[in-house]
Amino acid sequence: SLFRLKDLELAKLGDSDVHVKMLAAPINPADINMIQGTYPILSPLPAVGGNEGVGEVLEVGRCVAALKPGDWVIPASTGLGTWRTQGVFPEETLLKVPSDIPVLSAATLSVNPCTAYRMLTDFQSLAPGDSVIQNAANSGVGQAVIQIAKAFGIKTINVVRDRPDLPKLVERLMALGADHVITEEMLRKPEMKDLFKSIPKPRLALNCVGGKSTTEMLRHLQPKGTMVTYGGMAKQPVMVPVSAFIFRDVRLRGFWMTQWKKDHAQDQESLAGMMDALCQLIRRGQLTAPACTKVPLQDYKAALEASMKPFTSSKQILLL
């Protein structure tokens, strides 16, 4: 195992530092990839795992103006190391979030909902009544896409892998606001024509699988539609029929939240605007945390194992 639970000395609080008591931190696939070394960011080892979570400010250095004790904070960028009970962090590595939203919503805010929000707004100007198709629709990002799209009046076609408890999953995604939930196999069936009698073909496809799934989704994209790839769970390349490029002029783009945050590091307004919009949705009950299993920190081994199982539909959240 690459993981150990360790007791460390807290760093001294510098003038621009913030002492934070962590409240909750999820285990995301990217956290595991980072530790396995298959992610484009490597923290110098030994490192603390976890890129996401929420904490409460206990104390601030004398030059810190924007934060005060009692405030809730989340990481401003990747690599903070959130799987810890307390930490001392430079002020610029933290973002203030309202403390009147549920703790699990705050703990899972900085990666998946942000990714969903950016992909829905940055690639196609979608209007109410337009539709979006996505695979791995039950992932954290997928669940956020369903809810944010619903709030924007955009229809979602949600592709999931066939599984033993499929009806239960369909019911859960419909309850979140999904318009259609279909399996990968259905994507290839002629019945898809019937589906598009009631809703327009999508102008945007969101792909985090790759391989066959992606090629099948592309077939249903409108001319000049865009497919955004943000993950590759099948570990297979994206294959595009030449005809889709020539006769339908589809656009293929990629998205990585870490890069977006780097590109907008100087642009505090767009970050604040997005966080504000997401917190409003959370307050209105239009965006909920994904299904979560709360795990005390000392049971971290079980939590890590559970998070790597296939067909998991519950996110493991370390309570700190």
User: pLDDT of 226-245, one tens digit each?
Assistant: 999 999 888 888 889 899 99
Residues 86 and 200 in one domain: no
| pLDDT, average across residues 12-38 | 88
Does any domain span residue 134? yes
Residues with a catalytic annotation lie at 39
* Geometric angle at alpha carbon 156, from 112 and 310, rounded to 5°: 50
Cβ neighbour number for residue 223 with a 10 Å cutoff? 11
Residues 38 and 82 in one domain: yes
Residues 122 and 221 in one domain: yes
Residues 40 and 93 in one domain: yes
**Number of helices (H) and strands (E), helices first, in the chain?**
12, 13
- Output the six-digit token pair for 61: 């250095």
Torsion sign across C-alpha atoms 288, 293, 294, 298: negative
Give the pLDDT confidence score for residue 142 in this predicted structure. 96
Residues 224 and 135 in one domain: yes
Residues 243 and 149 in one domain: yes
Eight-class DSSP state of 3: -
Choose the final residue of a domain: 207, 240, 257. Answer: 257
Q: How far apart are the first and last CA of the chain?
A: 21
Residues 149 and 122 in one domain: yes
Give the pLDDT confidence score for residue 311 in this predicted structure. 67
Distance CA(261)–CA(41), nearest Å, equals 14
Q: Give the domain extent around 30.
A: 17-108+289-319
Does any domain span residue 101? yes
Q: What is the CATH number of the domain that holds 31?
A: 3.90.180.10
User: pLDDT of 261-309, one tens digit each?
Assistant: 989 988 888 988 999 999 999 999 999 998 889 999 889 888 888 888 7
177-181, 222-226, 259-263: range with lowest mean pLDDT? 259-263
Q: What is the mean pLDDT of the chain?
A: 91
Does any domain span residue 222? yes
Distance CA(60)–CA(47), nearest Å, equals 24
User: pLDDT of 52-68, one tens digit each?
Assistant: 999 999 999 999 999 99
Q: Looking at the 3D structure of the chain, how many domains does it have? A: 2
Give the pLDDT confidence score for residue 312 in this predicted structure. 66
Give the dihedral of Cα atoms 255, 261, 265, 268; nearest 10 deg: 110
Count of residues making up the chain: 320
Give the pLDDT confidence score for residue 313 in this predicted structure. 65
Q: What is the CATH number of the domain that holds 151?
A: 3.40.50.720
Residues 98 and 123 in one domain: no
Does any domain span residue 281? no
Q: Is the pLDDT of residue 180 over 90?
A: yes
Choose the final residue of a domain: 236, 257, 278. Answer: 257
What proportion of the chain, given as a percentage, has pLDDT over 90? 69
Give the dihedral of Cα atoms 128, 130, 136, 140; nearest 10 deg: -20
